[in-house]
Structure 1
Amino acid sequence: MTNGSTEPGQSKGGKSTLASSVYQQLRDDLLRGALESETKLRVEWVVSRYGAGASPVREALNRLAAEGLLGRHDQRGFFLMPVSAAELEELTRTRCWLEERALRESIAHRTAEWEEQLVLALHRLARAERRLPDDPTTNNPEWEKLHRAFHRALIAACRSHWLIGFCDQLSDQASRYRLIAQNAPGTGRDDLGEHRIIAERTLNGDADGAVEALLNHYRLTAAMCMERLAQGYDPRAGKSQRGRK
């Protein structure tokens, strides 16, 4: 006999595993901007896209909403959180506050193992191609993973899993804005150079210099995104709407 909350043919463990799989796929797609054209995320649409039952899909959607990666209207389902200059300003400011503390704590409590992991994270990031070869406007998913790993490695020695968790949440929220900034034309930005400076100052124990480089890195991304938003950038259309009637 099946439990009333378990769909036919699924065990509780199977349902949980499927919900986790849908959650991870949805989360990855949200953070890389693959769902920006969908204003609303209807359960039926998600079921069709990810090939899962309605129950694990609802579980995954509710989990993402609880993390703030999706919005939810009572009785009206789920939707992508809108982007705005005001939210970006607050997000960047808060991220700078927390990551400054996390980086300073990591440098103060450095270990040889932490230094080795940071060097390795930078090395892996440097070897990855940022853009997809067949689509230069789109970031390579592998680069995105290694980029996140580098920033996590910077603060890994801060001795607070709570602080790391909060920084991870802010990083997730910032991802969609970073996707907007990455398409800004003619930026001439040296991303790898910025990451190298952050790592070098960190490894040298220069806390003030490392914090300055890290915060400048985040603020530059935010400024580029702000410019795009000011131009009337529509993330669902993937282009500026200025001049359109």
Structure 2
Amino acid sequence: MSYGAANLDDDGAGSKSTLASAVYHQLRADLLDGVLEAESKLRVEWAVSRYGAGASPVREALNRLASEGLLGRHDQRGFFIMPVSASELEELTRTRCWLEERALRESIAHGTAEWEEQVVLALHRLGRASRLSPHNPSSLDPDWEKLHRIFHRVLISACRSHWLVGFCDQLSDHAHRYRQMANDGESMQRDDLGEHRLIAECALDGDADGAVEALVNHYQLTAAMCLERFRQGEESKAAAGKAERARG
């Protein structure tokens, strides 16, 4: 399978940086959406074939993703997709709550009328979107995902630190990866709009403590659902191994 970058080449109209950027965005989306298997090797030759670009822009894209922590790198042995684990998710959630608490408190303290309008608009748009894909009820709708990301970004956008927002964005990316991997119809039975509305209402009322509590509870509930999927997966593997040994 070849992606959109295939119509560009190193010697054609597209520059190497344009090719590298195209590969970066396509591969990044695949990593975050759980399309590629965790812990597997990611060879340059394979990426060249899949994304339709030359080795040089592919390596540039892989190095960029490694710098963001979405890929790992073995000395002299190339790249690999970062593994996922319950302990990593717990640490990720804990750190995300720490950073976004500070960002949200700062946004509430320094929020303007324009910021308030953006929060209201982001919540309204999120509420009108369908969380589940109409084509696959067991997966999240990409449009909802985009609006969900915008809502959380707007909440902290008045914190007066692009560094803090950037760190929060990076953690959000990693959390998205876990959410996609743990996705199923049953785990999504929750009042997500109610959770987002509570965060927004507290923030708009200037209730920083209430907003932070609602935000942390929101993230921790998501993490708990993901951890439950990890537990179920481990139990399934154990049962399969037991059955295999019994047959042997």
TM-score, L = length of structure 2: 0.88
Match of 2:58 in 1: 57
Residues 61 and 211 of structure 1, relative CA distance in 2, 3 Å threshold: same
Residue 191 of structure 1 aligns to which amino acid in structure 2? D
**Equivalent pairs: percent with the same residue?**
74
Counterpart CA distance in 1 for 2:92 and 2:86 is 10
Counterpart CA distance in 1 for 2:148 and 2:158 is 18
2:139 is paired with a residue whose SS is strand
- Select 1:241's aligned residue among 237, 240, 245: 237
Residue 121 of structure 1 aligns to which amino acid in structure 2? A
Match of 2:81 in 1: 80
Structure 1 segments, 4+ long, off by >3 Å, are: none
Question: Does 1:23 pair with 2:24?
Answer: yes
Counterpart CA distance in 1 for 2:188 and 2:45 is 40
Match of 1:163 in 2: 164
Counterpart CA distance in 1 for 2:203 and 2:183 is 25
Counterpart CA distance in 1 for 2:237 and 2:55 is 36
Residue 101 of structure 1 aligns to which amino acid in structure 2? R
What aligned pairs does 1:22-41 form with structure 2 within 5 A after superposition?
Answer: 22-36=23-37, 39-41=40-42
Residues 8 and 147 of structure 1, relative CA distance in 2, 3 Å threshold: closer
Counterpart CA distance in 2 for 1:242 and 1:123 is 44
Counterpart CA distance in 1 for 2:128 and 2:62 is 35
Deviations 1:201-232 (A, max 9, x none): 11111111110000000000111111121223
Larger mean CA deviation between 193-202 and 128-137 belongs to 128-137
Q: CA RMSD in A?
A: 1.9
Counterpart CA distance in 2 for 1:36 and 1:192 is 31
Question: Does 1:198 pair with 2:199?
Answer: yes
Deviations 1:75-95 (A, max 9, x none): 222111111111111111111
Counterpart CA distance in 2 for 1:213 and 1:194 is 7
Residue 46 of structure 1 aligns to which amino acid in structure 2? A
| Equivalent residues of 2:199, 2:211 under 8 A apart | yes
TM-score, L = length of structure 1: 0.89
Question: Unmatched 5+ residue regions in structure 2?
Answer: 1-8, 242-248
Deviation, structure 1 residue 187: 5.2
1:78 is paired with a residue whose SS is strand
Deviation, structure 1 residue 180: 3.3
Deviations 1:174-201 (A, max 9, x none): 1111123432625521111111111111
Deviations 1:1-34 (A, max 9, x none): xxxxxx85247x7110111111111111211112
Deviation, structure 1 residue 36: 2.8
Deviations 1:47-84 (A, max 9, x none): 11111111111100100000101111122221111111
Counterpart CA distance in 1 for 2:222 and 2:159 is 24
Counterpart CA distance in 2 for 1:26 and 1:38 is 15
What aligned pairs does 1:225-240 form with structure 2 within 5 A after superposition?
Answer: 225-233=226-234, 240=236
Question: Does 1:219 pair with 2:220?
Answer: yes
| Equivalent residues of 2:106, 2:158 under 8 A apart | yes
Question: Unmatched 5+ residue regions in structure 1?
Answer: 1-6, 235-239
Q: What is the total number of aligned residue pairs between the two structures?
A: 233
